Structure 1
Amino acid sequence: MKLLTTAAFAALAVLACPAEAQDAEGDLQIKLLGTGVLPDGAITSVNTDIVGLPADTQTEASDAFVPTLAVAYFVSDNVSIETICCITQHDVDAVSGLPGAELVSNGTLIPATFTAKYHFDLGDLEPYVGAGATYFWWIDVEPGAATIPLGVTETTLSDEFGFVLQAGADIPIGDDGFGITLDAKRYFVDTTARWFVGDTLAIETEHDLDPWVVSVGVNFRF
Structure 2
Amino acid sequence: MKLLHAVCIFALGSLAASGTAMAQDRAGSVQVKAFATAVLPDGKITKFETDLVGLPANTQTTANDNVVPTVAVEYFFTDNFSVETICCLTQHDVDGTTGLPGAELVSDAKLIPATFTAKYHFDLGAIKPYVGAGPAYFIFIDEQRGAATIPLGVTDFDLSNEFGVALQAGVDIPVNSRGLGVSLDAKRYFIDTTARWFAGNTVAIQTEHRLDPWVLSAGLAFRF
Give the number of the structure whose residues are more often helix, by fraction: 2
The answer for the alignment partner of 2:75 in structure 1 is 73
- SS of equivalent to 2:45: strand
Aligned partner (choices 59, 63, 66) of residue 65 of structure 2? 63
Q: Which residue of 2 aligns with 1:201?
A: 203
Q: CA RMSD in A?
A: 0.9
Who is 1:110 aligned against? 112
Q: Deviations over 1:24-43 (max 9, x none)?
A: 32100000000000000000
The one-character-per-residue Cα deviations of 1:180-204 (angstroms, maximum 9, x if unpaired) are: 0000000000000000011111000
State the number of aligned residues: 202
| Equivalent residue for 1:173, pick from 175, 192, 195 | 175
2:29 corresponds in structure 1 to: 27
Q: Name the residue aligned to 2:19.
A: none
Code of the aligned partner of 1:100: G
Residue in 2 that maps onto 1:50: 52
Hey, what does 2:185 align to over in structure 1? 183
Question: Structure 1 residue 139: deviation in Å?
Answer: 1.4
- Taking the aligned partners of 2:62 and 2:120, their CA distance within structure 1 comes to 33
Deviation at 1:23, TM superposition (A): 4.5
The structural deviation recorded for 1:123 is 1.1
More moved, 147-156 vs 204-213: 147-156
Output the CA distance in 2 between the equivalents of 1:120 and 1:25: 14
CA shift for structure 1 position 150: 1.4
How many percent identity over aligned positions?
A: 67
User: Aligned partners of 2:94, 2:211: CA distance in 1, in Å?
Assistant: 11
Cα deviations by residue, 1:114-142 (Å, 9 ceiling, x for unpaired): 00000011112100000001000011100
List runs of 5+ in structure 2 lacking aligned partners. 1-22
Looking at structure 2, the residues matched to 22 and 171 of structure 1 have their Cα atoms a distance apart, in angstroms, of: 15
Name the CA distance, whole Å, in 1 between partners of 2:153 and 2:55: 15
Which residue number corresponds to residue 8 of structure 1? none
Q: 2:132 aligns with which of 126, 130, 133?
A: 130
Alignment of 1:141-156 (within 5 A): 141-156=143-158
TM-score, normalised with respect to structure 2: 0.89
- Aligned partners of 2:207 and 2:112: how far apart in 1? 21
Distance 2:46 2:221 in 1: 38
The answer to whether residue 72 in structure 2 is matched with residue 86 in structure 1 is no
Structure of higher CA gyration radius? 2
Query: Could you tell me which amino acid in structure 1 is paired with residue 134 of structure 2?
Result: G
Query: In structure 2, what is the Cα distance between the partners aligned to 1:24 and 1:80?
Result: 9
**Counterpart residue identity of residue 59, structure 2:** T
Summarize deviations over 1:196-218 as a string: whole Å, max 9, x none.
01111100000000000000000
Please give the alpha-carbon distance, in whole angstroms, between the structure 1 residues aligned to 2:89 and 2:28.
Answer: 28
Distance in 1 separating the partners of 2:71 and 2:184: 14
1:101 pairs with 2:103? yes
